[in-house]
Structure 1
Amino acid sequence: MKRRNILTAAAALATGATTIAVLGKKKTEITSPAQTPLGAPYISKNLRKLRLVTSWPKDFPGLGMMPNRVAQYVHTMTNGRIDIKVFSAGELVGAAEVFDTVSTGAADMYHSAEYYWQGKAKGFSFFTAVPLGLTATEMVGWIEFGGGQQLWDSLSAKFNIKAIQAGNSGHQMGGWFKKEIRSLEDFKGLKMRMPGIGGEVIRRMGGAAVKLSGGEIYQALQSGAIDATEWVGPWNDYAFGFYREAPYYYGPGFHEPGAALSLGINLDIWNSFSASDKAIFESACHKASNIAVGEYTHENAKALITLREEHNIHARVFPKEVWDKFGTISNEVVSEIGQSDKETRKIFESYIKARNGYRSWTEISEGQYITARKASLAT
């Protein structure tokens, strides 16, 4: 395609006009469904340009790297035939707007966390993380072999989206606290930044769950607006400097045992892919997810050592009575959500069946091994 024609096509896209794209020898009419400045994807005979919007700040450690890797892998596996431009939160749309932007076709795909969309359908929560839910490896088991992907497809299709797991931040920490947690009484009146289902658990324990974006947390700790916060884990938490205001670091967290991240693709775009291109996207997402688990394991360990040795944080484990209460209330809240509607009930029942089944293996294998290894290396 000549440069003049490319510029003409780009100008038409910018005004939401109808353009003609060439796929092989077949001409396909593409119309911008939302008539927005984002327009429709650019397609030439040998090149397809797609736009990926994310919920993460530019170059954000871990989370922000996952969509970049997906784009890189797809580009490599297609020899550059599919080129994905990644837009960080705020560059085209806000972090919370990526779902609707892709659903309407104003952008082609997003990278985010599905539990952000629980206001649209309660069932979305189960495809990221719920309290006392699946670990990162168990999540893969459910999605790939336990019927999770089929349920996810059914739910997402109602919003014109095809979603694929494309990352996991692993087990998250319980949070940073200004004061030590010795008993359940310490949660009475505690103002803690914790969104979503975990926040509801904190409320039922007598605390106040405060919703804050990542950029607002440190100032809230510093001013006393909150007494504690959860974020992700040592790697991301260290970068935010929470240890300066809240030196007690509790783990593990009850609320997100293996937070999955997703690539959501506009369903019309997905259906336009060949079978081989669909397989390429799935492979790229799976590789990005696997790399993310390894990266978080590596970087969290490094950051925790730094926090302990250079900043003298107080690493703690919640008392047993606190964990028992986490468990009781978490099961209540998750069960209530699971009964929200017919479709959510199907997702909930499948998820709980997987959790109960995987426990028989996880607890006697990895769980017992970690306990035994800790005891052996301590002698």
Structure 2
Amino acid sequence: MDRRSFIRKGALGGAAAAAASVASPALAEDLPEVTWRLTSSFPKSLDTIYGAAETMAKYVSDMTGGKFKIQVFAGGEIVPGLQAMDAVSNGTVEACHTASYYYWGKDPTFAFGTAVPFGLNMRLQNAWFYYGGGNDLLNEFYGTYNITAFPCGNTGAQMGGWFRKEINTVQDLNGVKMRIGGFGGAVLQKLGGVPQQIAGGDIYPALEKGTIDATEWVGPYDDEKLGFYKVAPYYYYPGWWEGGACLHAMFNNDAYNKLPEAYKVALTAACQAANLDMMASYDWKNPAALKSLMANGAQLRPFTPEVLQACFNAAQEVYAEITAANPAFKKIYDSQWAFRKDAYLWMQLSEYNYDTFMMIQQRSGTL
């Protein structure tokens, strides 16, 4: 069996099983026909990140016998990509698929829904969301914007972005105009950088025209599609601001609260299935895309230890400033940081040592 098909079917099977105890007995003839509109923050050309919303919508339809349909629209078809959450909050649409940290300007607390600098990787994000109370804490906050949200996709640790010039020292960041979302931009600013927030479909023209000097996006598969290597050849890693960047499906509370319980369960299970599916898809696609990028001239560069340490220290300054002034941010920060300390103690024993050994085998050509 094709492994991608197996993952998709496995995810759907798990989601269906999770929903079965509530959804299946309730799917009687008198349950309503419901049609929602969902606006994405992403263009259709970014098939993996955009596709998570379509995957979620398909699972919901399948689990409700086609009675609950979610129509997915690309960024810009209803509202611009960076206004997706606002459209849900005010009831223009019932749902959106977006990166929570796009709304950092409204409140820095939004950043925790996606990723924060030197935060959790993908696996630890999910552990905190599903078992550490993260979803509940975030929905308490999202509720102040008339929204309920669930994780619905993760890219894993992202790349550090594309630069026109090499970044060898902290001083090299001074004056660099970089497209970087949310919290990462505030840290970059501490080091003299100039953060820019630009929707995905608008990044390449800005980079090509010199409006910006650098950009981060996701990783090899999406970055190759967007063609950044053609105008900014230096490809840095890691994306310290996005160790496990999560996307969310957000729902208008007025619409969500009217749903039958079976439909709410279907939404919850479908989002969790799509969350798994996106990460599996990127892990399958990124290796080949990275090889292709390098063959086309992309030059891989690690951020130096000096640069990483300076960014880490600057992040601590930003955290201290925000927690002192924002109780909602501090409440979530305290929860996630308490878990982060112990979680990385565990990760360095298991995954780190196993993966390090296997990477040595890869470099030595024995795999």
Q: Shared fold (TM-score greater than 0.5)?
A: yes
- Counterpart in 1 of 2:298? 313
Measured after TM superposition, the shift of residue 189 of structure 1 is: 2.6
Contact 1:131 1:334 in 2 (8 A): no
Measured after TM superposition, the shift of residue 356 of structure 1 is: 1.2
Contact 2:46 2:225 in 1 (8 A): no
- Counterpart in 2 of 1:204? 190
Measured after TM superposition, the shift of residue 209 of structure 1 is: 2.2
**1:86-145: per-residue Cα shift (whole Å, max 9, x none)?**
121222222222222222323111111111222333211111111111111111111111
Contact 2:163 2:233 in 1 (8 A): yes
**1:148-192: per-residue Cα shift (whole Å, max 9, x none)?**
111112111122211111111111110112222222222223232
Partner Cα separation in structure 2 for residue 231 and residue 260 of structure 1: 13
Look up the equivalent residue of 2:303 and give its one-letter code: F
1:350 paired with 2:335, answer yes
The 5 Å alignment of 1:114-263 reads 114-263=100-249
Contact 2:43 2:201 in 1 (8 A): no
Contact 1:175 1:249 in 2 (8 A): yes
**RCO comparison, higher one (Cα < 8 Å, 6+):** 2
Which structure: greater helix fraction?
Answer: 2
Instruction: From 287, 309, 319, give the equivalent of 2:273.
Output: 287
SS in structure 2 at match of 1:79: coil
Look up the equivalent residue of 1:270 and give its one-letter code: Y
Please identify, of 116-125 and 351-360, the stretch whose mean Cα deviation from structure 2 is larger: 116-125
Measured after TM superposition, the shift of residue 241 of structure 1 is: 1.0
Partner Cα separation in structure 2 for residue 119 and residue 184 of structure 1: 26
* Cα 1:158–1:216 shift into 2, 3 Å: closer
Partner Cα separation in structure 2 for residue 332 and residue 370 of structure 1: 32
**1:30-87: per-residue Cα shift (whole Å, max 9, x none)?**
xxxxxxxxxxxxxx96421111122111342211101111110000011101111112
Contact 1:248 1:316 in 2 (8 A): yes
Measured after TM superposition, the shift of residue 344 of structure 1 is: 1.7
- Counterpart in 1 of 2:13? none
Measured after TM superposition, the shift of residue 299 of structure 1 is: 1.4
Partner Cα separation in structure 2 for residue 293 and residue 143 of structure 1: 16
Please identify, of 312-321 and 71-80, the stretch whose mean Cα deviation from structure 2 is larger: 312-321
Measured after TM superposition, the shift of residue 250 of structure 1 is: 0.7
TM-score normalised to structure 1 length: 0.84
Please identify, of 161-170 and 223-232, the stretch whose mean Cα deviation from structure 2 is larger: 223-232
* Cα 1:254–1:93 shift into 2, 3 Å: same
Partner Cα separation in structure 2 for residue 203 and residue 231 of structure 1: 18
**1:286-332: per-residue Cα shift (whole Å, max 9, x none)?**
00000000111111112101111x31321111111111111111222
Look up the equivalent residue of 1:170 and give its one-letter code: G
Partner Cα separation in structure 2 for residue 212 and residue 83 of structure 1: 31
Instruction: From 213, 237, 256, give the equivalent of 1:270.
Output: 256
Please identify, of 171-180 and 273-282, the stretch whose mean Cα deviation from structure 2 is larger: 273-282
* Cα 1:68–1:328 shift into 2, 3 Å: same
Partner Cα separation in structure 1 for residue 347 and residue 254 of structure 2: 39
* Cα 1:206–1:97 shift into 2, 3 Å: closer
Please identify, of 271-280 and 142-151, the stretch whose mean Cα deviation from structure 2 is larger: 271-280
Q: Which protein shows a greater Rg? A: 1
Partner Cα separation in structure 2 for residue 301 and residue 376 of structure 1: 17
1:75 paired with 2:61, answer yes
TM-score normalised to structure 2 length: 0.86
Instruction: From 336, 344, 360, give the equivalent of 2:321.
Output: 336
Look up the equivalent residue of 1:87 and give its one-letter code: F
Instruction: From 25, 34, 40, give the equivalent of 1:48.
Output: 34
- Counterpart in 2 of 1:14? none
* Cα 1:327–1:244 shift into 2, 3 Å: same
Look up the equivalent residue of 2:177 and give its one-letter code: K
- Counterpart in 2 of 1:40? none
**1:225-259: per-residue Cα shift (whole Å, max 9, x none)?**
33222111111111111111111111111111111
Contact 2:102 2:181 in 1 (8 A): no
Instruction: From 77, 87, 97, give the equivalent of 2:73.
Output: 87
- Counterpart in 1 of 2:93? 107
**Sequence identity of aligned pairs in percent?**
38
SS in structure 2 at match of 1:293: helix
1:60 paired with 2:29, answer no
Structure 2 unaligned segments of length 5 or more: list them.
Answer: 1-25
- Counterpart in 1 of 2:12? none
Partner Cα separation in structure 2 for residue 325 and residue 81 of structure 1: 53
Look up the equivalent residue of 2:143 and give its one-letter code: A
